Structure 1
Amino acid sequence: MKTELDIVIVGGGPIGIACGLEAKKNGLTYVILEKGPIVNSLFHYPSNMQFFSSSEKLEIDEIPFISKEAKPKRDEALEYYRRIVTSNKLNIKLFEKVENVQKNEGTFTVVSEKNTYISKQVVIATGFYDLPNLLNVPGEDLEKVVHYYDNPHYYSGQKVAVIGASNSAIDAALECWRKGADVSLIIRGSEVGQRVKYWVRPDIVNRIEEGSIKAYYNTTVKSITENSISLNTENDVVEIENDFVLALTGYKPNFNFLEKLGVNISNDAKKLPEYNPDTMETNIDGLYLAGVICGGMETHKWFIENSRIHAKMIVSDIISNTVTS
């Protein structure tokens, strides 16, 4: 069955939901396609995760977000965005992964696992959390190695190597240590990341200085085995006993998907997609980007707080083009 719409929104995260709200308010026909549950990426965040932003900065469409603390937890965000979807009766299709998008004679054909949609415009709001930055070392495919962290209880009493220096890695290192894990922190650079949450960074620095968590700076992973992990340090190769590896080295957008759509992407390390910053429209007419995906590999550049405005920008441009055409 084919469904004809004004807009197909690929991605049901906070920004995709914001786009759906804006489309509905302006009388446009739309559908949000999400490959998992509502706000799939947030659902897969660590269970104890606390946002850097305060609750009012995570609000969309001026709908109040009330949280117990100034900075909400993951479960509070799930409740907030879920209630927005259900209360506003948004047209969202869950567990419906988009497999292909093609443009022909001014319209887009969007093929999902369950349906085919014909649309005048497409908004890509898929974020970046689906594809981890791999270590590309021997042993990375072992079951003990994970790129997503959930709950520290699982690692209690175990020797855990946490790889990374940003928020996800530091949170995991501290939580696992507090639940009784023997934690080693593997950091490629010379210090804990400067963008680590300001109330967390002093905590990890103190734990390292007192010796509770062993940090290996200027170090990369050489290989991983069932019982150990080998590290390339500044001076030598060091092998330490290990039960689990949390490779929390960041994530990246699905560039292959964007390139398949015809979106131009810069050739440098930033891999920035081409779009008009005033309208969010890409080099493909009628194809828009929204949210963190706009930043390419600079995944710290865009987040809910500063990209929720994309929804109004996109819908405004679509309406403007409709009026003038």
Structure 2
Amino acid sequence: MLDLLIIGGGPSGINVAISAKRAGLNYLVVEKGVIANSLYHFPVNMTFFSTSLKLEIQDTPFISHQDKPTRSEALEYYRRLVQSFRLNLKLYEEVLRMEPATEGYRVTTDKGEYATRNVVVATGFYDTPRLMDIPGEDLPKVRHYYDDPHVYIGQKVLVVGAANSACDAALECWRKGAEVTMAIRGDAIYDRVKYWIKPDIENRINEGSIKAYFNTTTEEIRPHEVVLGTPDGPLVLENDFVLAMTGYQPNYELFERLGLPIQEDDSCKPVFDPNTLETSLPGVYMAGVACAGRETSKLFIENTRDHGQIIVDGILQNATSTVGH
């Protein structure tokens, strides 16, 4: 019988695990991919918006060559945390369902079953892209993750979106020799784009190096074309690749399999107590950026660093109350 099973081996899951270990709890982290799986799928050359100091967890220094760390440095940091604290973690194991048991819950994965008194859901949101739900989105040339511009040299690339991922992808692909077009729903690049990226992308658009269609939607993707809905009507463009940088959301399919209730509003946040992070399921907690639902710009690693201690304190308090009763 585990005291705590943590679903997700990213920054939040690691954070909770360290707090659990320090408290002497019998815990296990189950991760469907690699350590920090979401960060692993970030663009290869990505630089974080936050400083390394703000990303530090559990009083463990985050060393980076510059003020803002790179993806590579972040992966090294989280690997070091797992190794330094000798965390109990199982990789490449996906959680399938969770059912109430006599004492706590029975969690079933694709490799086995676990009995646990408490569960933490720390699955982030970057693993689940927001789909456009348009014809042709399932074609092989459509990518919802951007990794490296080398793939797109000499190709006609449509970048859908106007946030950080879209602007980074558009600039890097253009600089490596791609013919880049952007389809943007609004009438401008988003204000929340990194301050060192925003003027760069705006200047490239203004000089015509990158073609941008504003107030425009992507209507259909064909093997060698895309159809855009512009203010002047439909527009058909030759196309080799589509980078659909349309954002990401929590894994609601998993939430449903776990039986987690969701707020019935635009945020689609999981239902939980903001003070304790405990959901309406007793002993089941939310941690990290998944707490924000679809409002993915509200929570980050830096403002959820206290979640691990809050959850473990709650588990210990509940255990004490039960013993006392």
TM-score, normalised via structure 1 length: 0.97
AA of the residue aligned to 1:210: E
AA of the residue aligned to 2:55: L
Q: How does 1:261-276 map to 2 (within 5 A)?
A: 261-276=258-273
In 1, Cα distance between equivalents of 2:197 and 2:103: 50
In 2, Cα distance between equivalents of 1:10 and 1:157: 42
Asked if 1:191 is matched to 2:200, the reply is no
Asked if 1:318 is matched to 2:315, the reply is yes
Match of 2:248 in 1: 251
| Residue-pair matches, total | 322
Residues 23-42 of structure 1 show CA distances to partners (whole Å, capped at 9, x for unaligned) of: 00000010000001111111
Query: Retained in 1: the 8 A contact 2:96–2:254?
Result: no
Residues 140-170 of structure 1 show CA distances to partners (whole Å, capped at 9, x for unaligned) of: 1111111111000110111100001111111
Asked if 1:176 is matched to 2:173, the reply is yes
Deviation at 1:198, TM superposition (A): 1.1
In 2, Cα distance between equivalents of 1:101 and 1:191: 44
Asked if 1:91 is matched to 2:77, the reply is no
Residues 248-298 of structure 1 show CA distances to partners (whole Å, capped at 9, x for unaligned) of: 101111123223333221222211111111110001110000011101110
Asked if 1:229 is matched to 2:229, the reply is no
AA of the residue aligned to 1:42: L
In 1, Cα distance between equivalents of 2:317 and 2:231: 57
Match of 1:34 in 2: 31
Match of 2:78 in 1: 81
Choose the corresponding residue for 2:236, options 234, 239, 248: 239
Query: Retained in 1: the 8 A contact 2:8–2:30?
Result: yes
Asked if 1:217 is matched to 2:235, the reply is no
Q: What CA RMSD, in Å, does the superposition of the two structures yield over aligned residues?
A: 0.9
Deviation at 1:300, TM superposition (A): 1.0
Question: Which range moved further: 132-141 or 20-29?
Answer: 132-141
Choose the corresponding residue for 1:131, options 113, 128, 132: 128
Asked if 1:290 is matched to 2:260, the reply is no
Asked if 1:45 is matched to 2:33, the reply is no
Query: Retained in 1: the 8 A contact 2:100–2:106?
Result: yes
Choose the corresponding residue for 2:107, options 107, 110, 113: 110
Deviation at 1:106, TM superposition (A): 3.7
In 2, Cα distance between equivalents of 1:152 and 1:120: 46
Deviation at 1:53, TM superposition (A): 0.4
In 2, Cα distance between equivalents of 1:26 and 1:78: 25
In 2, Cα distance between equivalents of 1:301 and 1:283: 22
The SS at the match of 1:304 is coil
The SS at the match of 1:42 is helix
Choose the corresponding residue for 1:154, options 151, 154, 157: 151
In 2, Cα distance between equivalents of 1:263 and 1:222: 34
In 2, Cα distance between equivalents of 1:170 and 1:202: 10
AA of the residue aligned to 2:182: L
AA of the residue aligned to 2:222: T
Residues 187-236 of structure 1 show CA distances to partners (whole Å, capped at 9, x for unaligned) of: 11111111111111111111111111111100001111111111000121
Deviation at 1:314, TM superposition (A): 0.3
Match of 1:204 in 2: 201
In 1, Cα distance between equivalents of 2:42 and 2:288: 17
Asked if 1:279 is matched to 2:237, the reply is no
Match of 1:59 in 2: 56
Match of 2:305 in 1: 308
AA of the residue aligned to 1:61: Q
Choose the corresponding residue for 2:162, options 162, 165, 183: 165
In 1, Cα distance between equivalents of 2:144 and 2:101: 38
Residues 45-100 of structure 1 show CA distances to partners (whole Å, capped at 9, x for unaligned) of: 11011101000111110100010111000000000000110111100001111111
In 1, Cα distance between equivalents of 2:225 and 2:118: 51
Query: Retained in 1: the 8 A contact 2:144–2:244?
Result: yes
The SS at the match of 1:56 is helix
Residue ranges of structure 1 left out of the alignment (5+ in a row): none
Deviation at 1:105, TM superposition (A): 2.9
The SS at the match of 1:305 is coil
